[in-house]
Structure 1
Amino acid sequence: MTNKEKVILKLKELSLNIDGSKEYGVDALTISNMLGLQRNQASHILNELSRDDEAIKINKRPVYFMSKDVYEENKDKFKLVFQYLKEESSSSFTNDSDSFREIIGAGGSLKDVVQQCKSAVSYPPNGLPFLLIGSSGVGKSFLAQKVYDYAKNSSYINQDAPFEVFNCAEYANNPELFSAILFGAAKGAYTGADNDRIGLIEKANGGYLFLDEIHRLPPEGQEKLFLFLDKGIFRRLGETEKKRQANVRMIFATTENPENKFLQTFLRRIPLIVKIPSFKERPLKEKLELINTFYKREALNINKDIVVNNQVVNILINADTYGNLGKLINAVKLSCASALNSQNEKKSKVLKIKINNLPKDIIAQDDEMLINELNIKDMFISCLEEKENDYFLVSSDRAFEFTKQVIEIAQGFANATVASDQFLEDGIKIFNELIDHIVFSERYKSSRSVIFKAIEKNVETTLSFMNLNYGIDYLVNSSEIIAQLITHFIESNVSYDDENISLILEEVNKRFPKEYKLALKLVKDVEKNLDLEIDKIAELYILIYIKSLNKSTQSNINAVIIAHGYSTASSIAGVANRLFGKYIFEPFDMPIESSPLDISAKLLEYIKTIDTSKGLLILVDMGSLETIYILLEKEIYGDIAIIDNVSTKLALDVGSRILQLQPLKQIAEETTAKNVSTFNYIESTKKKTDVIITTCITGIGTASKIKDLLNSCFNEDEVKIVAYDYESLKSNGREDFIFKQYNVKLIIGTNNPDIEDVPFVSLENLIMKKADSILTSTLKGIVDKNIIEKINKEAVKLFTLENVLNYLTILNPDKIVDQVEDALTALERSLGFKLENDLKIGLYIHISCMIERLVIKDPIMNYRNPEEFEKCHVHFIKLTKKAFSVIEQFYRVEIPISEIGFIYDSIKNKVKGFDI
């Protein structure tokens, strides 16, 4: 029986036995444990069943699966799954009505702009007024219209709600007439006012008013407007008694710096300022799509297919068009009109746009723009209504699943739950499957996007550089493969959690620093040369691919070449790396005038990124450089060997010995015996400093305060204390850099990061006097018996709840303890069980620090996946909000979801089976 068949049977068996009103399904870890499979293998099979519609996938935390057959046979039993599928269906429908999706760049350069606009629309009860900033023609009016459409489609305003537009420049020199138009006028208010007149404010009641060129609004107008923004009341011109009310959502737009053009009292009434990037600031993909869209309009208008010459596209991309999209649209229209006016083009079925059809002011800007450096092809635009499928690629569900899998195994690797070999084996398999899908699936079979060739050319150049300098032997089709990958991520409409992927890449970088450096260089070269923005996930894929090409030696000896001159070290390292086909040597080219101190500083920056515990081998060109070890030996863990008179022959001899896994000292002795060189060998004398780490689940700030408290108890010259990030400890374990730098004897904090062979003492145990024996045993090898007794006595005096709170917060400990006690008592009643004393003390500390953060407006917002937490733990959030309502009112704060998440984790870590 295959593993897939085993998983299918086990999933059906477990699905039949779950309680559908309490459980969503079965997670991959449960199945992997029951079948003896690796978790990522079980996850891969389950995801495959989901794609094949044999299993239902529930994207909770963790991800759950259910047999599709079992669910279909008895839907009534599985209420939670039914509700989840219903909500997913509803969510999909809602997304389809998102008017912002029509905006080019909504998921790219305008992503933040769109999110800000959505926030302004959705803010209760009646949205927020906001100011659009951008140079002329960037699309401020168009965006305002989309905001109005979004508000209607999302039911924030009625379907028949008005949308009024007014350009303030029209009446900039007549403030009285402006007031009449905006606020209305009473009969007789001015000459010719024969009747009462309704203003734009009243016309826009219940909807939106868009005021363009708001910087032309005179000060008198600003004063009247900020009164309306404040109170929602106004008077018509000529009225003195009657106050009118209107509920109007306001959008303002300007091309000017608001600080220079507005009264500060008016500016303070606008809580949100949204900056729209210019055409020049847009990435290449969006520029191409905009050009394509504008020519598409003309193709439909004149009912002719259009072919735009590649040089025309190149000029429009690079033209420094003052007027932005407005001028670009005009340039497109004029080029079509010019081409259409040609006698030959009148008869042709296809309109060909050439350079001479462009407006002269755009052509004359820069002769260099005529060079097609991006290898852009001619652009074909059909006059049919359908949007061409061969211009911009769309990500498929299958491609998205591949990427979710690679993120999952990379997360496991970063968390040390997936072994290095397994990560690389699974990673390259998924990489190849994704490339096959991109190249051979029907959707991509005949496609070659406009920017593909430009990317391929750049990748080829960078790969050639890597081969020359780092010995990375790439395949004939490597540049095409990587270009396909990058193009896919540039042109797909799917976005990934860049913040999470960045954290994963940080951890992967610690294990594969050389490969990460090369992957990053390749991505940055493409981004810089082609003005593109590449998704972070591409870096992970490229790193995996480069690692598959660079199957490096098992030796952990790091070797560098330092030589004076423009590229002496690079040339020698490049030849050696290329001949070995391995990234062995790191080159450092130093100017002739560089001192040993300059060289040491540069070398130290590199050393910080590598593990030198197995030794560092330095090849130098001059005897004077032999002395740099004096500046390095105090910073390096591991032996140092320095060999002079570096040459290509010497580097090849050293490289071959590194590949043979010879010890560092043997390499130095035998190499110098065969070559005209001498060596210095410096055995490591640096002993790792004994330290105690302080840490806190909520961040380094509280950890630093715990350190300060301990420093009142431990003298710095007796015991060194280091404040350190909890998430790094939890995720990296023993692999974290802190353990390479220090000999960690003890961890003190609010939550246990579970580091192997390192004891942990919680703050609550220190307060409850339960940590004496651990402290004594830990300090025994660091300080003498008398000092240990003194420290224990000091700890008894210092570690009382009130004193700890006094150290960690600015709040009155007597008052805050009572307030937190009341809140926790209310929470206990709601939860239906008593919290243990050590947990309560831990919560006293955590919640007191939380209140201080909220009071000083510095809450922790980086809780992992807050949206998922909010979705899965609605009841707990509600109970917590209710229990802490008095504290919120007393301190005039609001506890965010992220902070509630940390409270939840604190309880879950101590209460077995807690899940609400």
Structure 2
Amino acid sequence: MTNKENIMKSLRELSLKIDGEKECGVTAKDISDSLGLQRNIVSHLLNVLNKEEKAIKINTRPVYFIDMEVYKKRKGELKLVTNCLESKKGDAKEGNVSEVFKKLIGYNGSLKYVVDQCKSAVLYPPMGLPILLIGSSGVGKSFLAQIIYEFAKASNSIESPERFVIFNCAEYANNPELLSATLFGSVKGAYTGAERDRPGLIEEADGGVLFLDEIHRLPPEGQEKLFLFLDKGVFRRLGEAERWRSAKVRMIFATTENPKDNFLETFLRRIPLIVKIPSFQERPLSEKLEIIQSIYKKEAITIKKDILVSNKVINILLKSKSGGNIGGLINVIKLSCASALEGSSYKTIKVLKIKINNLPIDFMENFDGILSNVNFADMFISSSGIEDTHYFNKSSSSISDLTSEIFKFAEEFKENDITQEEFFRKCLENFNKLVDEIIFNEIDKRRNAVMFGSIKKITENILVYIESEYGIKYFANSSEIITYIVIYFMEYYNENEEDINELIDYMSEKYPKEYKIVTKIIETIETNLDIALNKILNLYMLIYIKSFNQKKRSDRTSAVLIAHGYSTASSIASVANRMLGEYIFEAIDMPLELSTPEIVTKLNSYIRETNISNGLIILVDMGSLESIYKGITKEFYGDLAIINNISTYLALDVGSRILNSESVEQIAKEAVKGNVSKYNYIPLSKNRKNAIITTCLTGIGAAKKIKDLMDKCFTNDEVEVIAYDYEGLEGNGKEGNIFKQYDVRLIIGTSDPSIEDVPYISVEDFIMKKGESLLKNALRDVVDIEVIDKINREVVKLFTLENVINYLTILNPSKIIDQVENALYNLEIGIGFKLPNDLKISLYIHISCMLERLVIKDPIMNYNKSEEFLKYHIHFIELVKKAFSVIEQFYKVEIPISEIGFIYDSIKNKVSDFKL
């Protein structure tokens, strides 16, 4: 018997044994254990049986199956199975209204945010919100408008569900008077040829939906009439002087142009929802494949022939830069089918084969001639109505084979047939096979030098960060290997996503710290390059990152540092991990405003997400020992030690003992003995060293990066550059210890702490070339004039806006500058005045650093005036959220109130009379 037949037989036998009071069905694992087959194979074939209506699938967690015939016979006694099915049907019923959006490829992917916005606009009481769809020609604006109308009809949001009026404003673009008459109607004699009263499209669409395509062709006077209708719901026919008419019409507009350049501001203000639809090339690979498949599917049904599309044809369709987007793609695919039919006998041919020579010549002229190896061969599409597209793998050494082997290793490990060390060794062998195949057989980096260089640079920055923060030492060629596999998986397609996710979840439980790092790497790459990577990449990246620490024991005690301050714990953990050469310590920073219960909440979250069965040691800086202990006892079962008075020396001592596998109790006792405080008194030197302080309003991290940048400008040791906390400077003023230890000549930063007699230069002044005289005055009696001139030249060279942002963050500077520019433009419109140039540059830097914090999930959540700010500046908060909505969507982040508070302070510091 085949595997499918065996699985069907096993499903029937197990279904007959189901306890109707206790069980929901049979899992893939049940059958896998029964037959000794790999679980992913069983899962795949069960899904096939479900499509063939031989098995019922219950989409719970875990997923259950039951034999269709057995269920029909035993339905009365299988009460729990029936309850599970009814529950899912109920969920489906609630989602029936939303089913219309499932026609839209990407509705739950790249277009999910678009769909959510459109739903909200339709359901907004009492009459919904106008929607403007923007995007290149052929992206599907008209199709989306049709679906929005269907959703409005299905949700009973419109009074006249049969009324959906479509009009292309380009039809009368050269005749504004006729265009206006077509929209609003006209009275007899209103224009030449107007022999009687005529209603317009607005009256025709009363109670329904009016879709105006190419709305940018509507002249300004037409826009004025339209925004009056959007405002008041009233209009006049052309030539009508006294009577006002009214109508209830949902409005959807579409344009291929930039709204700011083509519409009156008053008109745009009446459209709260502007939705950008991505082009075909901006879609993720999986969606592009689905689009190609769906178009060929329609053709297969139309011509009543099965279709087999060559892998190379798919590659070309995926990569061609030809215009027209999806609309253009539909024409190309139709022509490819027509070409293939022309060279065949229609009556005798069973399967229509689409090859490269069937693609139109003008389309091929826009192709760059580069074919990449996606990991499937030909796409087979049936002419029946059943969704049964298949991708046929050709290579026996393909990624699917390597991944299937890892599934097998995981099952062997679960069954204790192999040790964890053997399991990982086998996984690493498969990873190395993958790398060999990619580097030596698949990818030529010269083929896509720009993409390769971009990913490699991002990867290098991330690896440096990982070594600094977690103490994980990477290999010399790591950035190149990661770049190769990222490019490879950008073009990979796998069907068994559910199985892959399950395996990744299992691996992340075994290697939680490495998985945390992998998530950070992949999120950063996806955000910076605006790409979506296949989830299977997480699996192979996890194996690779784990190989950096291959000898690390899995039964090691866990350790957490908790300290007051914005980055105290992080700094100590970073130093300790780096010096110990391993990722030992997690850090929880505790700003003074943060309460002990909030810290306990963070700690409990860490405990729930981490395997701490081998004990936990918590190092804290002062107080709160008893409160922390009481707060986590409900969450924690095992040996626990909390040690007070944290220091780097104490962390290194505890870390070394963890590496030596000492018990939790022994570590606590010995570490406390060896860390009694000592002192050494050194009288103040009369000759204090000259210093320049770098500082930043939002924390010491950015100040350190500005210091590193300034260090590059100095070639002597006459002046020391010191990164210092902004709050400490502003709060202590000249009384701060730093001014007793050093002769501070200058402060450089993103916000002026206003220290008496100490000059301040902002980073934006350096960028705008305004800092030269201040720098000369500050250093004139410290270094020679030639040295100052040389420093100034270095400053001019290094302090450009793009270079500073590139240095301060891991984000793409050219992209982030454009994005922030658009956001600030929208903010200026909201606040009603233009921001000064120096303030703009300051905000470019501040916002870039803020976005990096949000991307790596490390935002500044404390803001010392949070409640007051939220109470008195709600309008400013709303303006910022609106202005930055595109950035939030692009980076998949949400700007917290605390970060908006810092933006407000940055503006207030420069514009003294600013109130909002």
Q: TM-score, normalised by structure 1?
A: 0.46
